[in-house]
A and B are shown apart, each in its own frame.
Chain A
Amino acid sequence: MSLLQATAVRKAFGGVVALDGCSITVEKGSLTGLIGPNGSGKTTLFNVMTGYEAVDDGEVAFDGKRITNAAPERVFQLGIGRTFQLTRIFPRLTVLENMHVAAQRQGLGGLFGRWSSSKEHARALELLEFVGLTRLEDVPARNLSYGQKKLLEFAYVLVAEPQVILLDEPAGGVNPTMIRYLTERIRALNELGVTFLMVEHNMEFVMGLCDRVVVMNHGVTIADGEPEAVRNDPRVLEAYLGA
């Protein structure tokens, strides 16, 4: 069953067509990889699916509901979390405060309460433990290393218990130990039922982790299937090698 779906999405920035009738389907419970040469529209596709950019044409649907051009806060509340290629954490807030920004509360009453309830605090610590940042909870987030920032961003997206998480280059600029660690965490979450869609240039990472790979080029998806099949697809080789 498809959980997240974009249908014939078009998005142009002035004369540059970033998405040219792009369609993608993310199956529930899958680990889907999204690859393609630089400038093929992967990040733009992420942006239109999470409400950061408005589409010019086409539709985005989540769990059967139309969410085309919904505001980012609404998309997040529905259960779609995302991380950014260049991590976006809150640099002047502590690691723990970063975690609490994403903790959702219902109604106005929640806003009047202290930012950390004991239940939320326990949950935040649990997730920091999960990504191995527990001991840094009181450190301003800007003092973290690049890899730690990626883990923090990953952890605070988890606070809201999203059904699907979009990762934009989770392994980019991160050392091999961290990549193995991240792979493990993603697998563990996937077993709990979380769906993943990830953009990544590290082929080893994608081919080893994903059960399905979608390839984009020039704003459209050109191939879609199991990692092995996609790897040997002549259209994919052409897109990458320009043969």
Chain B
Amino acid sequence: MKVLRPASLLVLLALAVTFPLLFPNPAVEQVAVLTLMFAAAVTAWNAFSGYSGYISIGHAAYFGIGSYAVAILCQDWHVPGGWLPFLLLPLAGLIAVVFAIPMGWVALRTRRHTFVIVTIAMFFIMQLMAYNLRSVTNGSRGMSLPIPVHWSGAFYDIPFYYVGLAVLLLALLVSWWIRNSKYGLGLLAIRDDEDRARGLGVRTGPFKLTAFVTAAFFFGMVGGLHAYFVESIFPSFAFDPLNDLMVALMAFLGGLGTLAGPVLGAVILVPAQQYFTIEFGKPGFYLMIYGAMFLAIILLLPQGIIPALRARFQRSEALAGPLRGADADGAGGAALAGDGEAERGGGPA
């Protein structure tokens, strides 16, 4: 927020709003819609995993639940194609929440690597259920969603674009609020030292669970939107493990725990993903490219783009003037110890 001043934020927002007018090409539009959906999901994921340090590789389960929720509700309530299915998105989010509460409660009893494994396991359990609960999900034959017949050709992507943008803005608002609230400070304290946070009165259990569930709500909404966008869903695509990896990859690339990082990660990686899938899709090469990208990010930019930029920015500032507060008077007298370079993992962008 210190780097992106309000004026430049307004310019970005104006650009996002007018994008479909500037680039009416349907192929570009389609990538833009997917980018917005992922950006919203990663932003929400980051508000849990980035702030609390609990890396979830299983939130795509709630994406799948949201997808099926919208598909099943449209089918049962005979919802016609058009604007109406968009109204079901908050409901899809809430259905994801209903699943996320007990699943999160169980998963959050573990920490670190164990937590990661538990979330992955839960994701695959949900995928298996989508395959096997045929009476509900129609199994591997999949389900169709209502088709908005009145939205033809070039207009088709426009409603999805703006609904996606609205969900993203809501996710950003929630993430921004969390980062600046007492609640968010508690999450950051959990990331740094959970037991110490408990010892200072932070109610770590409810804090972690609400953040986990909030992220699931957004995954449910985005999943529902995505299902409606692609018009049909199958267990392997609604519950796609690649979504889990891509979400984490985007957050790591942009900057884990920052506000703008996840959006930046999505803006870079979703178009890249689409391009690689089209160019190298056939023999499955694109999966290898993702693996290479993952390694490159971890090796070259372990903190992500935003924190790296911020560190550079602060370094140039530090060279211009003496580091603020470097000489403590009174007590210790010792100057900044060790890694004096101020790299702030968790600050807002």
Contacts and interface: CB of A to CB of B under 8 A. Distances in A.
A143 interface: yes
A79 B181 CA distance: 24
Interface string A88-100: 1111111001001
A92 B188 contact: yes
A138 interface: yes
A221 to B, nearest CB: 24
Interface of B: 177, 180-186, 188-189, 191-193, 195-204, 324-325, 327-340, 342-346
B325 A145 contact: no
Contacts of B201: 73, 76-77, 102, 104, 160
B328 A115 contact: no
Interface of A: 50-52, 71-73, 75-77, 82, 84, 88-94, 97, 100-105, 110-115, 131-133, 135-140, 142-148, 151, 156-157, 160, 175, 177-178, 181
B183, B192, B198, B327: residue with the most chain A Cβ atoms closer than 10 Å = B192
A128 to B, nearest CB: 11
Contacts of A110: 182
A163 B181 CA distance: 27
Given A97-B188, A133-B331, A177-B333, A88 B193 contact: yes
A164 B339 CA distance: 35
Contacts, number: 141
- The binding surface of chain B is classed by DSSP as loop
A229 to B, nearest CB: 33
Given A143-B336, A181-B331, 18 more contacts: A77-B201, A90-B192, A91-B192, A92-B192, A92-B344, A93-B346, A103-B182, A105-B182, A111-B183, A113-B182, A114-B181, A135-B324, A135-B328, A136-B325, A140-B343, A143-B339, A144-B337, A148-B334
B264 to A, nearest CB: 20
Contact of B196 (A88, A111, A132, A178): A88
A97 B193 CA distance: 14
Contacts of B181: 111-115
A101 B325 contact: no
A82 B204 CA distance: 18
A142 B337 CA distance: 9
Contact of B183 (A94, A112, A142): A112
Contacts of A132: 328-332
A105 B182 CA distance: 9
A177 B186 CA distance: 34
Nearest to A142: B339
Given A52-B195, A101-B189, A136-B325, A178 B338 contact: no
A139 B202 contact: no
A148 B198 contact: no
Nearest to B345: A92
20 contacts: A51-B199, A71-B198, A72-B198, A84-B196, A90-B188, A92-B346, A94-B344, A97-B185, A100-B182, A103-B182, A111-B186, A113-B181, A115-B182, A136-B325, A143-B340, A145-B337, A147-B331, A151-B331, A177-B331, A177-B333
A139 B325 contact: yes
Contacts of A140: 342-344
Contacts of B332: 132, 145, 147-148, 151, 175, 178
Given A115-B182, A178-B331, A52 B199 contact: yes
A194 B109 CA distance: 36
B182 A76 contact: no
Contact of B197 (A101, A135, A144): A101
Contacts of B184: 115
A209 to B, nearest CB: 17
Contacts of B327: 135
A89, A102, A181: residue with the most chain B Cβ atoms closer than 10 Å = A102
Contacts of A73: 198-204
